[in-house]
A and B are shown apart, each in its own frame.
Chain A
Amino acid sequence: MRAMRYLPAESPVWAVETVAGSPGAQFLAGGTNLVDHLKLGVTAPELLVDISRLPLDQVEQYDDGAGLRIGANVRNSDLAAHPLVRSRMPAVARALLSGASGQIRNQATTAGNLLQRTRCVYFQDVTTPCNKREPGSGCSALEGYGRYNAVLGASAACVTTHPSDLAVALAALDATVVVLGTEGERRVPFADLHRLPGDDPSVDTTLGDGELITSVEVPVSRASERSTYRKVRDRASFAFALVSVAAAVELDGPVVRDVRIAWGGVAHRPWRARLAEAALVGRELTEDAVRSAVDEELADAETTAQTAYKVPMLRNTTALTLTRLAEEETR
């Protein structure tokens, strides 16, 4: 590990000003991803600015209960246990609870979770080529171990997926990310936070130099209250998703008034299945309707022998998740 300086952040503005313009500087939050990467040699910052003690640790309602503003430093365990998250946006609680372990959730922060980097084995193994870690070196996952690879939105330069569970739930619920930069604050719709790899997979997000996430706002709606998260993995606990589904629905009798579907384990960013949603709105919510809606979304999917399983898995998991939600609604 390279020698580095460590500075506790004095304020959000101070943190931004210290990191902006210094390519060797990085924010440190819970450290569960960054400290791992320091050890693996995936990254070698010259300066760590520790933001973990900044008072960005509140969950509060905004606009008379229109939604919840979640501070960037709220720990994953605290967010999952928050009464309003459990009752008004269960998909968020369920996504968090399906991730990592109890210890890691006590340490990991909201912003750190969203900005964690891929778990691709080649990204984490510095002895192998990886365009995300070392631009231009090639992509080992194209020909190598590819069980977790993307089936939508990948490029010749990178075929990996985004590992966060929370991000999938926030994509479904139309969250907004509040970001502080040297020019002040800006608000980023969740769908615009993460990017597809294109020819520059080294960049995961649209955040600018030194930009700090200060909070995430999640609107409450009838759909968010009828939402959930289902994760399919190789073992029952403490594993990353093969695929996952965040879903939310509002019905009018048997007919879909509002539906949100986002997928994890599918692309370089959480994948909002807008084509599938459009195919379902105004229709009766049946298992068959969901299956054909999913097939519309997956029309452009590109699979290999190692990832072909994801197509039926997405179809089945999305159908199960949405029909169960509909049963709850009509119960």
Chain B
Amino acid sequence: MDAHISLTVDGTERSLDVDTRTTLLDALRERLAVTSPKKGCDHGQCGSCTVLLDGRRHLTCLTLAVAHDGAEVVTAAGLADDGLHPVQQAFLDHDGYQCGYCTPGQVCSAVGMLDEAKQGHPSHVTDDLVGDVDLDDDEIRERMSGNLCRCGAYPGILAAIREAATA
């Protein structure tokens, strides 16, 4: 069964007919040729398909495109305006990648995570649940644990996010 949906992807309005079985990730990559989000595990376990969906970091592999009619999707590619987004620049400055496959997901996840921290959301490693958030290295590692890097570029990823967090 097909359904007609509209999405705003990186600022551009896109309409398409999708089979109801199509994930948001496949709709973006295979139907709209938006290849910034990557398919790693396809089961929610690696984070490489992360985008900002209606402003929050969100996987695209475990959700059906048809369930997001009218949604706003921002991929890592869409974060850059005139220049690079500060998180993107920090990944460059700190070698936050090797092969780069996980990077778009890492970058979107970091942007969403920094916003959650700014709103005062605690994490699993936050001692005082009702206190302020201090994004130290343990906090960054915990909050980014949904993004795996097969190349093990974690030291650079951590350094990049640490810098973006204090910028």
A-to-B contact residues, CB < 8 Å: 1, 3-6, 28, 30-32, 35-36, 38-39, 48, 50, 52, 77, 80-81, 83, 86-87, 90, 93-94, 97-98, 100-104, 106-107, 236-238
Stretch of B27-35, B78-86, B139-147, B151-159 at the chain-chain interface = B139-147
Q: Does B167 contact A (CB under 8 A)?
A: no
For residue A52, which residues in chain B have a CB less than 8 angstroms away from its CB? 67
Instruction: List 23 interface pairs A-B (beta carbons < 8 Å), by A numbering.
Output: A3-B1, A6-B67, A28-B64, A30-B63, A32-B62, A35-B64, A36-B44, A48-B20, A80-B121, A81-B120, A86-B130, A97-B122, A98-B124, A101-B147, A102-B109, A103-B50, A103-B57, A103-B109, A103-B112, A104-B44, A104-B146, A106-B58, A237-B141
Q: Which residues of A contact B129 (CB under 8 A)?
A: 86-87, 90, 93-94
Cα A306 to Cα B65 with chains together (Å): 41
B3 touches A6 (CB 8 A): yes
Q: How many residues of B contact A (CB 8 A)?
A: 40
Q: Chain B residues in contact with chain A, CB under 8 A?
A: 1, 3, 19-21, 23, 42-44, 47, 50, 56-59, 62-64, 66-67, 109, 112-113, 116, 119-124, 126, 129-130, 141-147
How far does the alpha carbon of A247 sit from the alpha carbon of B116 in the complex, in Å? 27
B56: A residues at CB distance < 8 A = 77, 106
Chain B interface, DSSP helix/strand/loop, else mixed: loop
Name the A residues within 8 Å of B47 (CB-CB).
101, 103
Provided the pairs A31-B67, A86-B129, A104-B59 are in contact, do residues A6 and B20 lie with their beta carbons within 8 angstroms? yes
Partner of A107, one of B59, B109, B124: B59
Q: Ordered nearest first, which 9 A-B pairs have the shortest CB separation?
A: A101-B146, A237-B145, A6-B20, A238-B145, A81-B121, A86-B129, A97-B124, A1-B21, A35-B62
From A4, A35, A103, B1 is in contact (CB under 8 Å) with A4
Residues of B within 8 A of A4 (CB): 1, 20-21
CB distance A103 to B21 under 8 Å? no
- Chain A residues in 8 Å Cβ range of B123: 97
Closest B residue, CB atoms, query A124:
B43
Contact A32 B20, beta carbon cutoff 8 Å: no
Contacts of B143 in A (CB 8 A): 102
